[in-house]
Amino acid sequence: MIAAVIAGVVAAVAVVLVLFFRSKAREQVFAAQAETARLRAVLDDVKEVAWGNRDIAPELSTIVIDTIRTGEERLGRRELPG
């Protein structure tokens, strides 16, 4: 009888812990997605600035745009930076 009660309590605690950690993981995923979107927007802005000012520093603009594009391609293929 006592063993059944203990087993029930352990099962309930396990379920609560699983639900708690799943909710925490979900929060972290949403935060990471928001940060990724913010960083993509920043990179888009940097590309726009580099493209808009290419007449001032064409070599630097080319380097910046090519570096961002290379990184985007690498992320698209899920490669790690070298």
Note the pLDDT tens digit of each residue in 33-68.
Answer: 999 899 889 988 999 999 999 999 999 999 999 999
Q: Which two tokens stand for residue 24?
A: 């925490």
- Going by pLDDT thresholds of 50, 70 and 90, the confidence category of residue 78 is low
CA separation for the pair 47, 64 (Å, rounded): 7
Task: Please provide the distance, in angstroms rounded to a whole number, between the alpha carbons at the two ends of the chain.
Answer: 61
What does each C-alpha distance from 58 to 53, 61, 65 come to in angstroms?
A: 8, 5, 11
Q: How far apart are CA 77 and CA 70, in angstroms?
A: 11
